[in-house]
Amino acid sequence: MFKYQIKSSDILPEVKIVTPDTFEDYRGEMWTYWEQSYDLLPNGYDFKISKFTRSRKNVLRGLHGDNFTWKHITCVSGELYLVVVDYRPESINYLKWESFLLNDRNHKSILVPENFLNGHLCLSDECVFHYTQSYPKKYVDVEEQTTVRYDDERIKIHWPINKPILSERDL
């Protein structure tokens, strides 16, 4: 039976950090990414979609979010710098952000609630970002998501890069 630690973010308490224990032997390593017993999602929410994004070094994706989707994020290959922003105007933490270093060695994952933005920067030559999404009624695709510039002056995120590679959407 695998064990894990779940703690709240220091800056954004609604954001959860899941750190699993791993089993390691001569064959390699094994750990649990998610168990329903973690009981972190609100009633009516279940993970419904699992996606992967492969990026090359210095690619920055985000900041993206919506009003309905919870995301459980990890890095399965390489290393990335994940930023989560509270985008709830009524929140005392509105526009506050926290960063997390995720990689294929620390196995950490971040649970991002609805109404929060997230973006990630690939730090290694290549990285694979994995996320599962939960929503109560329908999938919110790109056309309905909120996109905020990675260098928005209201947020003042300290990215470890000056000139990231961006998509048209993120420009």
Please list the active-site residues. 64, 131
Structural tokens at position 129: 């970002």
- Cα gap 111→70, rounded to integer Å: 7
Decide: 118 and 112 in contact? Cβ < 8 Å: yes
Which residues, other chains included, contact 166 with Cβ-Cβ below 8 Å and sequence gap of 6+?
59, 60, 150
Q: Give the angle subtended at the CA of 165 by the CAs of 163 and 171, to the nearest 5°.
A: 90
Q: Other C-beta atoms within 10 Å of 133: how many? A: 20
Which residues, other chains included, contact 171 with Cβ-Cβ below 8 Å and sequence gap of 6+?
149
- Cα gap 73→107, rounded to integer Å: 10
SS3 151: coil
